[in-house]
Structure 1
Amino acid sequence: MRYSELEFRRLAIWGGGREGRTAIQALRQRFPDKMLTWIVPAAELSESRTAAPDGIILAAEGEPDADLAGYEVVVKSPGISAYRPDVLAAKAKGTQFTSGTAIWFAEHHGANTICVTGTKGKSTTSALIAHLLRAGGVQVGFGGNIGLPLLAFDAQPPADWYVFELSSFQTADLDCTPTVAVLTSLAEEHLDWHGDVERYRSDKLRLFRNAVRAVLPARMELPVSTRGEVVRFGSEGRWHIAEGHLYRAQHRVMPLRDLPLRGRHNHINLCAALVAIEAAGFDAFKLLKHVGSFQPLPHRLQELGLRDGILYVNDSIATTPTATLAAWDCYRSQPIALILGGYDRGLDWTSAVTALGTQKPRLILAQGANGPRIAALMRAAGIAVVETRDLKAAVSMARLALSNGGVILLSPGAPSFPAFRDYAERGRCFAAAAGFDPNTIASIDGLGVH
C-alpha cells in the first residue's frame, strides 16, 4: 500500500514502540494537515504524548478512538499479532491493515534489496553483508528488525543497496520482490504471535514467493514456491565450513580461528552472507578480506570480560532453546553456569535438555516465567538446576558455583518481557550484576545509509 492510497482514507497508526513512532513521524511529514490517530497501550500514553507530532489524536487501547473498525486503514506495528481477535474482527468489517515495512517496499519498487530472515542468525548475517559491501565501497542502507524501521530511510539519502533484517512479524503480510532473500535457519518460534508452527513457517517464508534469488541452507527444502533462482550455503558447491576451515567450493580459503566470530553457527552465518553477496552480483572473495574488521553484535555471545577467573558472556539475544544450545556449544569444554528462562511461549525444551545432558553444565540457573518448567525438565534429566527469583540472583548463585573459575553464560532461550523492556535491557542488567558498566555495551553500529 503506497502513501497515495492512504491520503484520503481514515487512518490510524497502532503501536507505541520504535515502529509506531517512526510511522507517525513519516506519515505526519507526508501529510502535514491530515487527521491521524495514534493508538498505543495505556501504559505508554504519557511517553507517546511527548513523542507525538502536533495535531495527532492520541488514543489508548480500549478507548472509543481506538476502535479499529472505525478506520479504513490501520498501520500496525509488527509486534502486534495479525491473528488477534480484535484485528480479525476489524478486518471482517472492512478495515485494511498494513505496516511501515509494506509501505516502504511499495514506495521503492525496484530498489536493490537483500532481505534476511530466519529463526536465528539473521542479525549477524545481515550485519556481515552490510559490513562487507560497505568495505568494498558500496553505499548501503542497513536496518529493519535489527533496530531501524524501514520508514526511517525516508529521511536519509538513497542507497545503492539496502540490507534489511526482517522478522516473521514483518513478513507475514508482506508482498515484495527482494533482489536477494536469505533464510538463515527455520525452527519453532513465536507461537504466541502466529498461533502454531505451520503458520509461523508460512508467514516467514512469504518473503521468498517473489524473490529474484533465494539463498537457503544446504539440504533444506523450501515448502513454498519461489519464482527465482535458488542458491545454497553450507554445501560443497559454494561457501561452507569443513576441517576447521572456510571453503569456497573445493578451495580452502582461511582457518576458522582467524575469523572474528565465535561458534559454528556464526561461521555458517558468514557462509550465508558470502553466498548472498555473490547472489547480488558482487565478488565475495574480494570482499572477504574485510571480515577481520567486523565487530560482533552486542548481546550476541558478547564476552564482557573476566572477574576472579570467571568469564561473563552476554547472549541475551538468545530467545529459543536452539540458540541457547549454539551458545553452550562454544564454551562446553569449560565449567559453565548457564542462566536460562524468561517469557514462556510454550516452546519445546525436550531436545535442548537431551543435548545438555550429554555434557552437563556445572549448574543451570532457571529464572523467569518459564523457569519452573525448565527446572522440572532439567531435574528429570539429572542436570543440576537451581531456581532463582530473578536475573541478579541467578548471577550471584552462578558465581558461587564457579569458585574455581569457568564461564557464566546468560543465554536464556526465551524472550525478556515482561521483566525487561527488551533483550538489550536484560543484557545490561546481566552486565551490571556481573560488575561491568552496562553503559559500555555499545548499540548496533552502522544502521542507516553509509
Structure 2
Amino acid sequence: MTRERPKLGWGDLRGARVGVWGFGREGEANLRKLRSLGVEPVLVDDSPTAGEAGDEHVLATADGGLDALLRCEVVVKTPGISSYSPQADRLRQAGVVLAGGLGLWLQEADRERVVCVTGTKGKSTTSSILGHLLTGLGYRAMVGGNIGAAPYDPALAGDCDYWVIEVSSYQATDLASSPPVTAVTSLHPDHLPWHGGVEQYYRDKLSACSQPGAELTVANGDSELIRARAGLLAPRVEWVLETDEASATWLDPLGLPGRHNRRNALIARRVLRALGVEGADDDEALRAAAAGYEGLPSRLATIGAVAGVSFVDDSLSTNVLPTLAALDAFPGRRIALIVGGQDRGIDYAPLAAGVSGRESPTYVLTLPDGGQRISAAFAATGTRGEAFAGVTDCQDLETAVAAAFAWARPDGIVLLSPAAPSFGQFRDYRDRAEAFARAMRACAAG
C-alpha cells in the first residue's frame, strides 16, 4: 500500500494550524521547532504522562485528542505512531496532512551533505562509525535521527559539515526526498504489526533509499533479501561484501567483533568515498581517524566477567538476524544464549536452525512472552549439532542468567541477544540491559 508523502518543509508550517501527535524525545523536539517558528500547536499523545511538554496540557488521542487533530491542517507525528493506523487514515481522509519531523527537515536540508543510513540491524553502528571517522578526519559531523538527536532541534547549537542520519522503517514512511547518498546495512522481518506485513516492511524500510534526489545506495551485498529488492534502491548501487579489503587493517582500531561489523565499517568507508570526503582513500588517515572509537551500548558489549565467564549485552538485538550475527562473533566459544521477549509473530525457525547447527557448545534459555514459541521452533528443527545443549524456558531474566552462568562455567559466555523487543517485562532495551547487569552482579555475589 502506498500513501502520498507531503513535500513540506518546516518553514511551510508558519501560520498553519498544526498538531503534535506523540511525545518522547522526537515529539519534544517537534514542539521546540514549531515554537521557534512562532507556531503554538495542539498537543496530543496516545497515553499522556506527567511532565510531557513541560507544564503544557496534552490531550489523550482517545479522549478529545483525535478530534483536536482533525481540526488541524498539518499534524507532525512521532515515528512510533503507525502511518497505517485507523486514526492516521481518518486524519488523511479529513484532509489533514500527516508529516514527520525528519521528513520536514530533509526537504530543506543541504542534502549533498547528508547521508541516510537504514537497515534492519547495523544502521546504528554504521552511523556511529561514519560520525567517528568524519570527526577523526577533521570534519564537524552530527549523528542523529533514530540513533540520537533530531537534526532540526533548536536546542542544538552550531553548524555541521555533514549530517549522518539513521533512519528507522517508521521514519522512512515520512520521507518525501532522499539525499544523493544512502546506505542499507541489512534486511530481515521486523516491526510487522506496525507495517502490516513483511513485504510492506521491506518496501517502507528501503523507501529511504529511493525518494526523489536519490542517486547511489551503498548496500550490503551479502544479503540475498536486499539483492532481490535492488529495484527499491537508488538508481545506482554499490555492493559491499564482508570479504572486501581482505588485507585492510585501517578498521582494526574500531575494535568491533564479528564479520557483520567488519562489513558495517566497509559500508561506512564506501559512503565517505561517495561523499567525496578527503582521506577516505587513505588507509593511514582512516586508521588514525578510527582510533578511540567506543562501541554503542547494548550492541555486543562485554559488561563484565564472573569466575571466568564473560557477560555480553546485546539487548538491542530484536530479531533473528543480529542474534545469529552475535553468535558468529564468538567462534569456538561456549555460549549460553538468552533469547525471547515481546512476541511479534516473526519466524524463529532460522534462529533454531542456526543455533542448533553451531559447532561449539551452545545452550539456549528463553524468556516470556515469546519463549515457548521459540522453544517450539527448536523442537521442530530436525538437524542438531552434537554441541547443541538444548533449550530451557525460564520465567524471568534473573532465572535465565543464573542458569546460563552455571552452565557456561568455567570459561564460556553468557550472551543476552534476545531476538525480540523488550516491551512487556521491561520499559525498553536499556531497562533490560540494566536488569542483565544486575543479574550478573547477583552471580558474582552468590
| Smaller-chain TM-score bracket | 0.7 to 0.9
Identity across matched positions, percent: 35
Q: State the number of aligned residues.
A: 417
Instruction: Please list, as runs of the form range in 1=range in 2, the aligned pairs for 1:298-313 lying within 5 A after superposition.
Output: 298-313=297-312
Which of 197, 211, 214 is the matching residue for 1:211?
214
Aligned to 1:281: 276
1:374 equivalent to 2:353? Answer: no
Give the whole-Å Cα distance in 2 for the aligned partners of 1:146 and 1:24.
19
Q: Does the 8 Å CA contact 1:260/1:291 hold for their aligned counterparts?
A: no
CA gap of 1:427–1:227, structure 2 versus 1, over 3 A, is closer
Aligned to 2:45: 40
- Equivalent residue letter for 1:355: G
2:419 aligned counterpart, secondary structure: coil
Q: Does the 8 Å CA contact 2:46/2:61 hold for their aligned counterparts?
A: yes
Offset of residue 109 of structure 1: 4.3
- Equivalent residue letter for 1:116: V
Q: Does the 8 Å CA contact 1:313/1:409 hold for their aligned counterparts?
A: yes
Moved more, 278-287 or 88-97: 278-287
Which of 256, 264, 272 is the matching residue for 1:261?
256
Instruction: Please list, as runs of the form range in 1=range in 2, the aligned pairs for 1:185-204 lying within 5 A after superposition.
Output: 185-204=186-205
1:132 aligned counterpart, secondary structure: helix
Normalising by structure 2, we get a TM-score of 0.88
1:426 equivalent to 2:432? Answer: yes
Aligned to 2:175: 174
Give the whole-Å Cα distance in 2 for the aligned partners of 1:102 and 1:108.
10
Normalising by structure 1, we get a TM-score of 0.87
Offset of residue 259 of structure 1: 5.0
Give the whole-Å Cα distance in 2 for the aligned partners of 1:425 and 1:272.
31
Aligned to 2:54: 52
Give the whole-Å Cα distance in 1 for the aligned partners of 2:112 and 2:239.
23
Aligned to 2:117: 116
Give the whole-Å Cα distance in 2 for the aligned partners of 1:9 and 1:258.
50
- Equivalent residue letter for 2:80: G
Q: Does the 8 Å CA contact 1:39/1:60 hold for their aligned counterparts?
A: yes
1:90 aligned counterpart, secondary structure: helix
Runs of 4+ in 1 over 3 A off after TM superposition: 221-229, 255-259, 379-383
Aligned to 1:16: 23
Offset of residue 288 of structure 1: 3.5
Which of 416, 429, 435 is the matching residue for 1:410?
416
Q: 1:149-205, CA deviations, whole angstroms, 9 ceiling, x for partnerless residues? A: 233266321111111111111111201231310011112111111111111111112
Give the whole-Å Cα distance in 1 for the aligned partners of 2:253 and 2:163.
28
Q: 1:336-363, CA deviations, whole angstroms, 9 ceiling, x for partnerless residues? A: 1110011111111111101111127542
- Equivalent residue letter for 2:18: L
CA gap of 1:114–1:363, structure 2 versus 1, over 3 A, is same
Offset of residue 46 of structure 1: 1.1
Q: Does the 8 Å CA contact 2:135/2:289 hold for their aligned counterparts?
A: no
2:124 aligned counterpart, secondary structure: helix
1:88 aligned counterpart, secondary structure: helix
- Equivalent residue letter for 1:281: G
**Superposition RMSD on alpha carbons, in Å?**
2.2
- Equivalent residue letter for 1:433: A
Aligned to 2:3: none
Give the whole-Å Cα distance in 2 for the aligned partners of 1:193 and 1:221.
23
2:189 aligned counterpart, secondary structure: coil
Unaligned residue ranges in structure 2 (runs of 5+): 1-7
Give the whole-Å Cα distance in 2 for the aligned partners of 1:227 and 1:406.
44
Aligned to 2:14: 7
Give the whole-Å Cα distance in 2 for the aligned partners of 1:133 and 1:327.
27
1:13 aligned counterpart, secondary structure: strand
Give the whole-Å Cα distance in 2 for the aligned partners of 1:311 and 1:378.
25
CA gap of 1:119–1:83, structure 2 versus 1, over 3 A, is same
Give the whole-Å Cα distance in 2 for the aligned partners of 1:158 and 1:180.
20
Give the whole-Å Cα distance in 1 for the aligned partners of 2:275 and 2:252.
27
Aligned to 1:293: 292
- Equivalent residue letter for 2:392: V
Q: Does the 8 Å CA contact 1:365/1:387 hold for their aligned counterparts?
A: yes
2:365 aligned counterpart, secondary structure: strand
Give the whole-Å Cα distance in 2 for the aligned partners of 1:280 and 1:171.
21
Aligned to 2:320: 321
Aligned to 1:440: none
